[in-house]
Amino acid sequence: MECPNGCPAPMETAFIERIYYRAGKPIVIRGLEIYVCPECGCESLPLRSARLVEKVLTGHMEPTGLFSAPLFQPVPAAAG
């Protein structure tokens, strides 16, 4: 696949973990296939991966496990 930014190097396949939100709650998809440009870092989701994400977000796939992690939120600086 060619980079949408026009870089000359072909995009490389990578398998990643990505957080999405369904009904306001975070879910994790692990092993998601994407294409990454080795020059500019642009990421592209193949159609089969986009369809998998759609199935997950619309509740047409059951989870295979649970995910739990600490939550960090930035605190606004005090007005001075």
Does any domain span residue 22? yes
Which of 41-45, 46-50, 74-78 bottoms out in mean pLDDT, i.e. has the lowest? 74-78
Range of the domain at 52: 12-57
Inside any domain, residue 79: no
Domain count, the chain: 1
Residue 35 lies in a domain: yes
Q: How far apart are CA 80 and CA 74, in angstroms?
A: 18
Q: Rounded mean pLDDT of 27-54? A: 96
Q: Has residue 5 been placed in a domain?
A: no
Tell whether 4 is covered by a domain.
Answer: no
Q: Could you tell me the pTM of the whole model?
A: 0.77
Ranking 32-36, 39-43, 70-74 by mean pLDDT, the lowest is 70-74
Q: Is residue 30 part of a domain?
A: yes
Predicted pLDDT of residue 80 = 57
> Mean pLDDT in the chain?
91
Instruction: Tell me the C-alpha distance between 6 and 65, whole Å.
Output: 39
